[in-house]
A and B are shown apart, each in its own frame.
Chain A
Amino acid sequence: MTNEKTAEVAQKSEEGAFNRFIRATEIDTRLLGMIGALLLIWLAFHFFSDGRFLTPRNLWNLSVQTASVAVMATGMVLVIVTRNIDLSVGSILGFVAMIMGVTQISVLPGMLGSDSQFIWVIALLVGIVLGGMIGGLHGFVIAYLGVPAFIVTLGGLLIWRGAAWWVTSGQTVAPMNNTFRLMGGGPYGSIGEFWSWVIGIVACVVIALLAINGRRQRQRFNFPLKPMWAELFMVGTSWVVVMGAVAVANAYPWPVGIVKRHIKANNLNVEPSELVIAHGIAIPVLIAIGVGIVMTFITTRTRFGRYVFAMGGNPEAADLAGINSRWVTTKIFILMGMLCGIAGAISTARLNAATNAQGTLDELMVIAAAVIGGTSLGGGVGTIVGAMLGAVVMQSLQSGMVLVGLDAPLQNVVVGLVLVMAVWLDGLYRRRQG
């Protein structure tokens, strides 16, 4: 014991400025590594695409393209943390999207009239509830009937893809309800310059309040406090990132064609070239961020989240502690299904159509995002923010390679290699830590 202590002291005096910095700010080094890797990828693509990657337009598009996978990746974290897997998310998305499309086009207009403002919200709710029911069914079979998740969701992958086809006999459903479409982004599906700044400022205030609250809590129980400079540094950095993101979204103006239509529709007396309207943050991105916040809250602040991680760390210990692991597992899959519903709404709205191929191979993107984001397939480890960053990494690779002009077959090769490399590096990191 005493040896341990002297060793600790020795270590403390020897550690460099960087380590002291990490210790004081309590930054997760894994996350820091991921952000570094992401920036590296961005710079590389920017360089190889002759400066077309790090533009407001491309970054804005990247954010919208990431939203659907990012939403599902947050749920996949919980699934993988409990040593399960869900191969069916892409197919659930496809089936639920189809049902949402049919609901808003063939069913609701006849009941409410095609101008009703409730169509989008009812369609969305139908999607979320249906997704939750499908997930619940999977969860029940996995937890209570004891069929491995791999098999249940492999079956689900085929079943729900087939079901999506079966709903309209393979026909595409389009176009979507106008309000519903806003969930997919585009010039109208963004909140504009003013509200983007408002959201940015609100986010900054919340970040500051959280930091103050955290400090108060520690003071209340006399726990060691972070040094003041570390608090200020963390809050300041977060502010810069938030406001920077808002500035980028606001630096991407509407295309001229849309501006012309806007002028005509509102009888404005200006030249299209003079009127600059910024996109601002896209609604699907806001949805994804909202989902991320809610899921982070669920995993870190609720009993359910605590049980998910405990079950992943040691299933036997969780049972002996009196946790009803079967019910927790079922709830995880219900949640996963509901997130597929939300992701389905985003992707249908973005495409302005529901097709029976929607979400094909999304399961692999989602699993890759979660795993690249630090979710361990061995269970017990993973974060929501990591998985969402993982989704950004995956999407950056995909759209970056398109911008660079890499051949389509090579793109998949690269994605595959990156996935394997990322998990290998993560394993190295963990072994060094452990």
Chain B
Amino acid sequence: MQQSAEKVVEMQNVSIAFGGIRAVDDASLDLHKGEVVALLGHNGAGKSTLIKILSGAYKRSQGKIIIRGEEANIANPRDAKAYGIETIYQTLALADNVDAAANLFLGRELRTLWGTLDDVAMEAQAREVMGRLNPRFQRFKEPVKALSGGQRQSVAIARAILFNAQILIMDEPTAALGPEETAQVGELIKQLKQNGISIFLISHDIEDVFELADRVAVMKNGQMVGSAPVDAVTKDEVLGMIILGKCPPGATPGPGAMTS
């Protein structure tokens, strides 16, 4: 692969437990600059949880997170954003009752010299970024509740790329979309990658993954089964990793790999 050697994210031996259940158990995962790593696994395998630790929604009980070579202290979503980590959540995490611009800038509002909200400036920037993602989008005055699934998705994506993210986490970004919009998101991912943005992609769609990702990492029962460059494994082998936890020869096994 044409990866540059620079690692932007290293998660080392991360664990988290909810009331005795180890949702993520001793998982390690890394991400290089400009790389797309797909994280796969069944429902409940711990993908979303692992990724939420990186985005600051959950606090890990053990392990280290290293961002651009330095140990990072991520205790809440604000910390993660300070490291240039932006997240598109599976639930989109939009405030339904306010408009698109308010959602894009939620927690990072632009303000006037008097410290009041600069709604006009925020709307102007929102129009600019939404124009790039979804040129037909015009409903800036309406609460996002009134938008279609695809429009809501583009609001969530716009929020993530608005603040010059270095590291992007996309949790099922196409779950709510039709085929045409899914293809659009695919194009966007390629474009972001070209701009040097590193992406964690969580997806169920193995076709998508093989088209977009450089590397796959598979989790099962909270543990890392292993990871492999997409051209070193077949789709069937990856399915084997997901379903059985069986690590093929082309992959680097993790602690969750089936021992035979």
Contact = CB atoms under 8 A, between A and B. Distances in A.
Given A220-B120, A221-B120, A323-B107, A314 B93 contact: yes
B77 A317 contact: no
Contact of A317 (B94, B121, B123): B94
B98 A306 contact: yes
B76 interface: yes
Given A221-B120, A303-B117, A309 B98 contact: yes
Q: Contact size class for A?
A: 20 to 34
A321 B91 contact: no
Interface in A195-242: 217-218, 220-221, 223
B147 to A, nearest CB: 11
A322 B81 contact: yes
A316 B97 contact: no
Interface string B54-95: 011100000000000000000011100100000101011111
Contacts of A217: 120
Contact of A380 (B55, B87, B89, B96): B96
A59 to B, nearest CB: 34
A218 B108 CA distance: 22
Contacts of B77: 319-322
B111 to A, nearest CB: 7
Interface string A275-305: 0000000000000000000000100111100
B132 interface: no
Nearest to B111: A303
A318 interface: yes
B97 A312 contact: yes
B167 interface: no
B237 interface: no
Contacts of B108: 322
Contacts of A380: 95-97
Contacts of A126: none
Interface residues of B, number: 33
B174 to A, nearest CB: 17
Given A301-B117, A313-B97, A434-B145, A318 B106 contact: yes
Nearest to B181: A1
A97 interface: no
Interface string B39-62: 000000000000000011100000
Contacts of A314: 93-97
B116 A301 contact: yes
B78 A306 contact: no
Interface string B20-43: 000000000000000000000000
A310 B106 contact: yes
A106 B81 CA distance: 55
B55 to A, nearest CB: 8
Nearest to A314: B95
A381 interface: yes
Interface in A1-48: 1, 5
A220 B120 CA distance: 9
A309 B97 contact: yes
Contacts of A313: 95-98, 143
A300 B117 CA distance: 8
A316 B55 CA distance: 14
B102 interface: yes
Contacts of B143: 313
B109 interface: yes
A82 B102 CA distance: 17
B124 interface: yes
A316 B93 contact: yes
Nearest to A311: B95
Contacts of B76: 322
Contacts of A221: 120-121, 123-124
A218 B120 contact: yes
Q: Which of B107, B120, B124 has the most CB of A within 10 A?
A: B107
The 5 tightest CB contacts between A and B, nearest first, are A313-B97, A322-B78, A380-B97, A321-B107, A313-B95
Given A306-B109, A321-B106, 15 more contacts: A223-B120, A297-B116, A302-B117, A303-B111, A310-B95, A310-B106, A312-B97, A314-B94, A318-B95, A318-B106, A320-B93, A321-B93, A322-B78, A322-B107, A434-B145
20 contacts: A221-B120, A221-B123, A306-B102, A306-B106, A306-B117, A309-B95, A310-B95, A313-B95, A313-B97, A318-B95, A319-B77, A320-B57, A320-B87, A320-B89, A321-B77, A321-B93, A322-B76, A322-B81, A380-B95, A380-B96
Interface of B: 55-57, 76-78, 81, 87, 89, 91-98, 102, 106-109, 111, 115-117, 120-121, 123-124, 136, 143, 145
Interface of A: 1, 5, 217-218, 220-221, 223, 297, 300-303, 306, 309-314, 316-323, 380-381, 434
